[in-house]
Amino acid sequence: MPERTPYIAANWKMHKTVAEAGEFVDALLPRIAATQHDVVICPPFTALSAVVERRYGTAVKVAAQNMHEEESGAFTGEVSARMLVELDVEAVVLGHSERRQHFNETDEALARKVPTALAAGLEPILCVGESEDAREAEQTDAVLQRQLQADLAEVEPGRIAEVVIAYEPIWAIGTGRTATPEQAQEAIAFIRDVLRERGAEADRVRILYGGSVKPGNAAELLAQPDIDGALVGGASLDPDDFAAIVEAA
């Protein structure tokens, strides 16, 4: 089975000014200097360049938190893949549940965003996950299958392994409630099966868990055989906490 390099991503959401982003990176870099993992920081658009400039020569990659599917046009407030690539951004978070919930991000848009990102040379970090109601109604697998089928509909099977998938149960994001390692493993193994059925080299796909990951629970989650990393929100705002999660992986 191919080795999957652990992938730990910091989703800062709408936090950190340019000055605060710079302070964070300066504090983080010495703490993770020896890591062999992929360490990815997802700042707000305004702080992308500040993080890119500081991470040159390090293992840290930079991801945007969203992008538009069109190359250019009358889309006020939006940013294209080409604009991100020009900044030396390497990846982009797509389909985060906060964007699906508050900004009407649809599966139709995601079906275009994922191949657009790949074509531009950006690594998509595609987020999928069920609501609490769906989990209680035992619809978790159905929701995950529907999202993956829709959002990856236009990606050739041979390129699916270039997409990083983040399993983020909505009920665990920013709530302090974490999926148990068994729940996360079960959902992520299911995601891998769906990708395999879609024709992907599923054993190569990095699949992350996201939802209230902290230094205290990271090791147990990341020890699960199918969990290849973490997408970390709240705990990624502090360089000590984030470095501890990187170390736990």
Task: Point out the residues that are catalytic.
Answer: 96, 168
Binding of residue 212 to ligand PEP (CB under 6 A): yes
Determine contact, residues 211/235, Cβ cutoff 8 Å: no
Q: What is the b/e burial string over 190-199, where b = at least 16 CB atoms within 10 angstroms of the residue's CB? A: bbbebbeebe
Smallest distance, ligand PEP to C-beta of residue 240, A: 16
Binding of residue 191 to ligand PEP (CB under 6 A): no
Residue (32 or 93) nearer to ligand PEP, CB: 93
Q: Return the number of other C-beta atoms located less than 10 Å from residue 224's C-beta.
A: 16
By beta carbon distance, the residue nearest ligand PEP is 233
Tokens coding 4: 């999957």
Number of residues that bind ligand PEP (CB under 6 A): 14
Q: Return the number of other C-beta atoms located less than 10 Å from residue 86's C-beta.
A: 9
Site for ligand PEP (CB under 6 A): which residue of 232, 246, 248, 249? 232
Smallest distance, ligand PEP to C-beta of residue 199, A: 28
Tokens coding 75: 């889309």
Smallest distance, ligand PEP to C-beta of residue 208, A: 9
Residue (75 or 211) nearer to ligand PEP, CB: 211
Determine contact, residues 112/81, Cβ cutoff 8 Å: no
Q: Return the number of other C-beta atoms located less than 10 Å from residue 131's C-beta.
A: 16
Smallest distance, ligand PEP to C-beta of residue 2, A: 26
How far from each other are the two terminal CA atoms of the chain, in whole angstroms? 19
CA atoms of 153 and 166, how far apart (whole Å): 17
Smallest distance, ligand PEP to C-beta of residue 8, A: 12
Binding of residue 234 to ligand PEP (CB under 6 A): yes
Specify the stretch interacting with ligand PEP by CB under 6 A; choose among 14-22, 31-39, 102-110, 168-176. Answer: 168-176
Site for ligand PEP (CB under 6 A): which residue of 231, 243, 245, 248? 231
Element (H, E) at 111: helix 107-120
Tokens coding 64: 């945007």
Residue ranges binding ligand PEP (CB under 6 A): 11, 13, 168, 173-174, 210-213, 231-235
